[in-house]
Chains A and B, each alone.
Chain A
Amino acid sequence: AQKITQTQPGMFVQEKEAVTLDCTYDTSDQSYGLFWYKQPSSGEMIFLIYQGSYDEQNATEGRYSLNFQKARKSANLVISASQLGDSAMYFCAMRANDYKLSFGAGTTVTVRA
């Protein structure tokens, strides 16, 4: 079974600063995908970034980057130059050979002006 752990229930960050959201995972599968999603108060789950287990380079998507440390089973999300619109819940998730997405508990990010 897959397990995702997000240890930070909530974080505050100053506008224009960077923030790192922690995520560790546990799986015995060799092939898997790691995802980060943003969920604003509206409820929509917005795809941010994806990292495949065989990808050697860390994924980047605009202001989002994923710090992938395979040996440590870690997939931290870095948001650079935070904006007020980044305030939301952020979920780390993994998809392995059972095809389902397993989610962490989420981290609430609040960006302060």
Chain B
Amino acid sequence: KAGVTQTPRYLIKTRGQQVTLSCSPISGHRSVSWYQQTPGQGLQFLFEYFSETQRNKGNFPGRFSGRQFSNSRSEMNVSTLELGDSALYLCASSMRDSTNEKLFFGSGTQLSVL
């Protein structure tokens, strides 16, 4: 059974550009959440989707957005990139919308903003 797949693995952008990251959850999983990891701030929650609905959003500016498709695949978009957006972006999936569910992560997308 394939794990959580994130593409691309690495990305280099310049300030002001926009970027789209993709996440394919484990087959059968309907919940997808996104996290940003930086050396200074650690791991921070971005947003969580279940059945194409965003259920919770972290404390990030509106430049960060996401969506989930009917096949549970998710994308997140960052517009008008800033240097501080350089980070590892991790996606996690779980089967149901319950606290009693294991979450599994992908390998992440390492974004560098120059």
A10 nearest CB across to chain B (Å) = 15
Interface flag for A11 (CB, 8 Å): no
Q: Give B19-45 as 1s and 0s: 1 = Cβ < 8 Å from A's Cβ atoms.
A: 000000000000101010000001101
Main SS at interface, chain B: strand
What are 13 A-B residue pairs whose CB atoms fall within 8 Å in the complex?
A: A31-B100, A32-B99, A43-B108, A43-B110, A45-B92, A45-B108, A52-B99, A91-B43, A96-B99, A99-B55, A99-B56, A99-B99, A100-B48
Report if A98 contacts B (CB, 8 A): yes
Contacts of A100 in B (CB 8 A): 33, 45, 48, 56, 58
Whether the pair B107, A42 counts as a contact (CB closer than 8 A) is yes
Cβ–Cβ contact B99 & A31, under 8 A: yes
Residues on B with beta carbons closer than 8 Å to the beta carbon of A103? 35, 42-43
- Using a Cβ–Cβ cut-off of 8 Å, how many residues does chain B contribute to the interface with A? 26
Chain A: residues with CB nearer than 8 A to chain B?
Answer: 29, 31-33, 35, 37, 42-47, 50, 52-54, 91, 93, 95-103, 105-106
**Chain A CB within 8 A of B103 CB:** yes
Instruction: Find the residue from B42, B90, B99, B100 having the highest chain A CB count within 10 A.
Output: B99
Cα separation A31 to B99 with both chains bound (whole Å): 7
A-B pairs, 6 with minimum CB distance = A45-B105, A103-B43, A100-B45, A44-B107, A33-B99, A52-B100
Residue numbers in B under 8 Å from A29 (CB-CB): 99
Spell out B's residues near A (CB within 8 Å). 31, 33, 35, 42-43, 45, 48, 50, 55-56, 58, 88, 90, 92, 97, 99-108, 110
User: How far, in angstroms, from A29 to B107 measured CA to CA in the complex?
Assistant: 30
Contacts of B55 in A (CB 8 A): 99
